[in-house]
Amino acid sequence: MVAKNTKQIPWETFDGQDVSFAIAFLIPAKGEQEHLKLLSEVAQKLVDDDNRKTLLGLNRANDIYQWLKA
């Protein structure tokens, strides 16, 4: 599940910055390994500044889905 807001939302983050984008994984109880795999894949993408800028620039749900899936 992805939520994108046009305004910054106060959120407790590692860098102390507010957020405008949130990603949540809805995983079945027996899906612990899949959860870790998905989390790792998304985290690896988000470490890169250019990837983050690309994601933040996307506005259509399908575009965001395709970015996450790639």
Q: State the CB neighbour count (10 A cutoff) for residue 22.
A: 12
CATH level 2 (architecture), domain 2-69: 3-Layer(aba) Sandwich (3.40)
* pLDDT in the model for residue 27: 85
Q: Which two tokens stand for residue 21?
A: 């984008």
Q: State the CB neighbour count (10 A cutoff) for residue 27.
A: 14
For 10-37, how does the pLDDT look when each residue is reduced to its tens digit (9 = 90+)?
999 888 999 988 988 888 888 778 888 8
Count of all residues that appear for the chain in the document:
70
| pLDDT > 90 fraction of the chain, expressed in percent and rounded | 44
Q: Where are the domains of the chain?
A: 2-69
* pLDDT in the model for residue 50: 95
Q: Provide the 8-state DSSP code for 15.
A: T
Number of H helices, E strands in the chain: 3, 2
